[in-house]
C-alpha cells in the first residue's frame, strides 16, 4: 500500500494558492490599468495642495492636453470655467456659512471634510473649446487618515445637456401650442355663443311675451329652444373635452355633501325622466357622506350617467341610484338602468371619443363624448369610473370617489355676492342701467328684457371708452359689461371705473360669450360683481338684474370698495 506524503500535498496546496493569488493580482492590476487608461472618462489625481499628479488618457482625450503639460504644473480649477468656479465658491459659502475662496478650494472643500461630492461645471479644452462635465471628487487619505491628495473622475455631459435643451424646446413649443389652443377655444366659444344668445334670448322672450303665443307658435318656439339649448350642450361638451385633452382644464376639490349633490341631480333630471316615463329612485342617506370633489364637475359627470340611463332605457323602465362603501375611505355611486345592456364588444369601445356604438343612425341624439368627458373629470378628481352590463338586463355605471372628514364649506351669500332671487322694485324710484355692448342683436335682446321693468331706464354704449364716458356723466345704478369690446376690453374698462372715485361704487356685471372656466375666474378676479355668460338664461338674467339693483341701493352714499 503506498504511503501518503502529507508534506508533498501541503506544498502542492501552497503552490496552487500562490498561483491563484498571482493570477488575482494580475487580474486586479489589469483592471486598475484598464480603468486608468480608459478613454471614456477622465481621471485626474492631485496632491494634497491640488496640483495635478495623474492625468489619464481619458483626460487627455477630453481636454486636449498631454499629461506632461499639466502634471506638477496646474490644478484642476485651471481647466474649469473660472466664473462657474467663483459661483460655486459663493454658493458653498452661503450653504456652509464659511468663506470659501474661488479656485481649487471651491472644488475640494466638501471632499476635504469627508462629504461625498459631485458637481456639474464646464471644462475648457486646450484649444478653448468648452463642454459640460459631471465630476465626482474624493479625498485620498493615508493610513493615518491624513489627506494626501484628491481624485476627480469626470464624464462628458454634452449629450445629456443637448437632450435636456431639446426637451426644454419641445416643452416650450408644446406650451405655446397649448396656449394657442386655449385662446382658440375661448374665441370659438365666444363666436358660437354670440349668435346662440340672440336665438335663445329672443325665443325665451317670445315664449313668455304678452300676449302669449298661440299653441302653434308655442310648438315652434319650443322646437327653437330645444334645438338651441341642445346645441349649447354640444358646444360645452366639445370645449370641455378639448380643454381636458390639452391639460388646461382644472378642478377645485372641496368637501361636498353627497346628499346635496344627489338632490340637485334629482331635480335636474326629473323632467327628462317624466317625459320618457322612466322611474328614477335616489338613495336616502342615513350617514352624511362628504366627498373630496369639484362640486360642479361631479354634478356634470353624474348628470351624464343619469341622462344616458334615461335616454337608453326601455319604455317605462327604471333607474336606481345607490351608494356603497366597500373600500375604506372610498364610496361608490352606482346608476343602474333596465335598458338593453351592452355586449363585451361595445363595452370595450364605450369610453372612446365620438363612438356612439352604432346609434348614429336613428338612435337617441348625442355626440359620443359625454362619457369620455365624465371619465376624464372623475379621474381629475382622483376618482374612478366603470361599468358592468348584461345584454337584455341593463347596465350599472359607477363612480368611485374619496370620502373626507373635512368640514364642508358653506358659502355665505352675503359675503360672496352670490345672486339670490328677489322681487323687482315696482313703483319705486327710477333706476338706471348702462349696457356696454357692440353687438346690435345682443343690445336689442337686453333692451327687450329690461323693458319688462317699468322702473328701469336703460342706457347703452357700443365700446368701452364710450361706456366709461357715459358712466361718469350719468352715474348709473349698475353696469352690464361685455368683455370683447372695440378699443379697450370690458376688463380694462372695469379697472378704469374702479380707479375713479366717482364710479368705483357702481356694481358691474359681466355679460360675455367668454364662458370657459378660466375666463369666468379671470373676470371675477378682476372685480366683476357677477359674471353672466351668453346665451342668456332669461330667468337667471332677471334675478341677477334685480339682486344687483338691490345691492346698488344699499351701497349708495358709502365709500367706494377697496
pLDDT, position 562? 42
Q: What is the spatial distance between Cα 550 and Cα 33, in angstroms, rounded to a whole number?
A: 90
Q: What is the spatial distance between Cα 376 and Cα 384, in angstroms, rounded to a whole number?
A: 9
pLDDT, position 238? 74
Cα four-point dihedral sign 441, 446, 452, 453: negative
If phi > 0 it is left, if psi is from -120 to 50 it is alpha, else beta; for residue 87 that is alpha
pLDDT, position 182? 64
pLDDT, position 177? 72
Residue for grid cell 378639448: 242
Residues near 347 by Cβ (< 8 Å), separated by ≥ 6? 387, 389
Q: What is the DSSP letter of 97?
A: T
Q: What is the DSSP letter of 516?
A: S
State yes or no: cis peptide before 279, omega within 30 of 0.
no
Q: What angle do CA 58, 51, 43 make, to 5 degrees?
A: 20
In 3D, which of 130, 52, 40, 126 has the Cα closest to residue 84?
A: 130
Distance of CA 74 to the CA centre of its chain: 53
Q: What is the spatial distance between Cα 472 and Cα 474, in angstroms, rounded to a whole number?
A: 6
Q: What angle do CA 224, 230, 233 make, to 5 degrees?
A: 145
Q: What is the spatial distance between Cα 65 and Cα 57, in angstroms, rounded to a whole number?
A: 10
Distance of CA 322 to the CA centre of its chain: 31
In 3D, which of 193, 178, 338, 191 has the Cα closest to residue 246?
A: 178
Question: What's the distance, Cα to Cα, between the start and end of the chain in Å?
Answer: 116
Question: Residue 552 is placed in which grid cell?
Answer: 346698488
Residue for grid cell 479644452: 125
- φ/ψ of 372, rounded to 5, equals -60, -45
pLDDT, position 480? 95
Q: What is the spatial distance between Cα 118 and Cα 109, in angstroms, rounded to a whole number?
A: 12
Q: What is the spatial distance between Cα 539 and Cα 448, in angstroms, rounded to a whole number?
A: 14
Please, what are the domains in the chain? 1-33 (no CATH), 37-156 (3.30.450.20), 162-245 (1.10.287.130), 254-402 (3.30.565.10), 417-555 (3.40.50.2300)
Q: What is the spatial distance between Cα 182 and Cα 176, in angstroms, rounded to a whole number?
A: 10
pLDDT, position 496? 94
pLDDT, position 33? 59
| Helix %, strand %, coil % of the chain (to 5) | 50, 20, 35
pLDDT, position 365? 55
Q: What is the spatial distance between Cα 317 and Cα 32, in angstroms, rounded to a whole number?
A: 82
Per-residue pLDDT of the chain (562 residues; tens, 9 = 90+): 455 555 566 666 665 666 566 555 554 455 555 566 666 788 999 999 999 999 998 899 999 999 999 999 999 999 999 999 999 999 999 988 889 988 999 999 999 988 888 888 999 999 999 999 999 999 999 888 899 999 999 888 887 777 787 888 888 887 777 667 667 766 776 777 778 888 888 888 888 777 888 888 888 888 888 777 777 777 777 777 777 766 767 788 889 999 999 998 888 888 888 888 999 999 988 888 999 998 888 988 999 899 989 988 998 899 999 999 988 899 999 999 999 888 888 888 787 765 555 554 445 555 567 788 889 889 999 999 999 998 988 999 999 999 988 776 554 433 333 333 334 444 457 899 999 998 888 888 888 888 888 888 999 998 999 999 999 999 999 999 999 898 899 999 999 999 999 999 999 999 988 887 788 889 999 999 999 988 888 888 999 999 999 998 887 655 444 4
Beta strands in 429-536 (DSSP E): 431-436, 456-461, 478-481, 508-512, 530-533
> HSE on the CB side for 215, CA within 13 Å?
0
CB 153 within 8 A of CB 43: yes
Q: What is the spatial distance between Cα 36 and Cα 34, in angstroms, rounded to a whole number?
A: 6
Question: Residue 456 is placed in which grid cell?
Answer: 328701469
Amino acid at each position: 500500500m503506498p504511503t501518503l506524503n502529507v508534506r508533498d500535498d501541503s506544498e502542492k496546496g501552497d503552490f496552487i494558492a500562490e498561483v491563484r493569488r498571482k493570477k488575482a493580482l494580475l487580474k486586479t492590476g489589469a483592471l486598475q490599468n484598464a480603468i486608468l487608461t480608459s478613454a471614456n472618462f477622465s481621471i485626474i489625481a492631485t496632491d494634497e495642495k491640488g496640483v495635478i499628479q495623474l492625468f489619464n488618457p481619458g483626460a487627455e482625450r477630453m481636454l486636449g492636453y498631454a499629461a506632461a503639460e499639466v502634471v506638477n504644473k496646474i490644478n484642476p480649477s485651471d481647466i474649469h470655467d473660472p466664473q462657474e468656479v467663483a459661483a460655486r465658491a459663493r454658493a458653498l459659502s452661503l450653504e456652509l456659512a464659511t468663506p470659501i475662496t474661488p479656485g481649487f478650494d471651491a472644488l475640494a472643500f466638501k471632499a476635504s471634510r469627508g462629504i461625498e461630492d459631485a458637481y456639474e461645471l464646464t471644462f475648457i479644452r486646450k484649444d478653448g473649446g468648452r463642454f459640460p462635465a459631471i465630476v465626482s471628487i474624493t479625498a485620498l487619505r493615508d493610513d493615518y487618515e491624513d489627506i494626501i491628495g484628491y481624485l476627480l473622475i469626470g464624464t462628458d455631459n454634452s449629450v445629456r445637456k443637448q437632450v435636456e435643451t431639446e426637451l426644454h424646446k419641445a416643452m416650450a413649443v408644446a406650451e405655446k401650442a397649448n396656449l394657442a389652443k386655449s385662446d382658440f377655444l375661448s374665441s370659438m366659444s365666444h363666436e358660437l355663443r354670440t349668435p346662440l344668445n340672440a336665438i335663445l334670448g329672443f325665443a325665451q322672450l317670445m315664449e313668455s311675451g304678452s300676449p302669449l303665443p298661440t299653441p302653434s307658435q308655442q310648438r315652434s318656439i319650443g322646437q327653437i329652444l330645444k334645438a338651441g339649448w341642445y346645441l349649447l350642450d354640444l358646444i360645452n361638451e366639445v370645449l370641455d373635452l378639448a380643454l381636458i385633452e390639452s391639460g388646461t382644464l382644472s378642478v377645485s376639490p372641496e368637501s361636498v355633501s353627497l346628499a346635496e349633490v344627489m338632490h340637485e341631480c334629482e331635480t335636474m333630471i326629473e323632467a327628462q325622466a317624466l317625459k320618457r316615463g322612466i322611474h328614477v329612485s335616489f338613495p336616502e342617506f342615513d350617514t352624511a357622506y362628504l366627498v373630496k370633489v369639484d362640486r360642479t364637475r361631479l354634478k356634470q359627470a353624474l348628470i351624464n350617467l343619469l341622462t344616458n340611463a334615461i335616454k337608453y332605457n326601455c319604455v317605462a323602465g327604471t333607474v336606481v341610484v345607490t351608494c356603497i362603501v366597500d373600500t375604506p375611505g372610498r364610496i361608490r355611486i352606482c346608476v343602474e338602468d333596465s335598458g338593453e345592456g351592452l355586449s363585451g364588444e361595445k363595452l370595450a369601445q364605450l369610453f372612446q371619443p365620438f363612438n356612439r356604438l352604432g346609434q348614429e343612425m336613428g338612435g337617441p341624439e348625442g355626440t359620443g363624448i359625454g362619457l369620455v368627458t365624465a371619465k376624464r373629470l372623475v379621474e381629475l378628481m382622483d376618482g374612478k369610473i366603470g361599468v358592468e352590463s348584461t345584454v337584455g338586463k341593463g347596465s350599472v355605471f359607477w363612480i368611485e370617489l374619496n370620502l373626507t372628514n373635512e368640514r364642508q364649506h358653506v358659502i355665505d351669500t352675503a359675503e360672496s355676492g352670490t345672486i339670490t332671487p328677489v322681487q323687482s322694485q315696482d313703483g319705486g324710484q327710477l333706476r338706471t342701467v348702462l349696457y356696454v355692448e357692440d353687438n346690435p342683436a345682443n343690445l336689442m335682446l337686453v333692451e327687450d328684457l329690461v323693458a319688462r321693468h317699468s322702473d328701469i331706464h336703460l342706457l347703452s354704449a357700443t365700446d368701452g371708452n364710450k361706456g366709461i364716458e357715459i358712466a361718469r356723466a350719468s352715474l348709473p345704478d349698475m353696469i352690464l359689461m361685455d368683455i370683447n369690446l372695440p378699443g379697450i376690453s370690458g376688463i380694462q374698462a372695469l379697472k378704469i371705473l374702479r380707479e375713479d372715485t366717482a364710479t368705483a361704487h357702481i356694481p358691474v356685471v359681466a355679460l360675455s360669450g367668454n364662458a370657459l372656466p378660466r375666463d369666468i375666474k379671470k373676470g371675477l378676479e378682476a372685480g366683476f360683481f357677477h359674471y353672466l355668460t351668453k346665451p342668456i338664461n332669461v330667468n337667471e338674467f332677471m334675478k341677477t338684474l334685480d339682486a344687483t339693483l338691490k345691492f346698488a341701493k344699499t351701497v349708495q352714499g358709502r365709500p367706494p370698495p377697496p
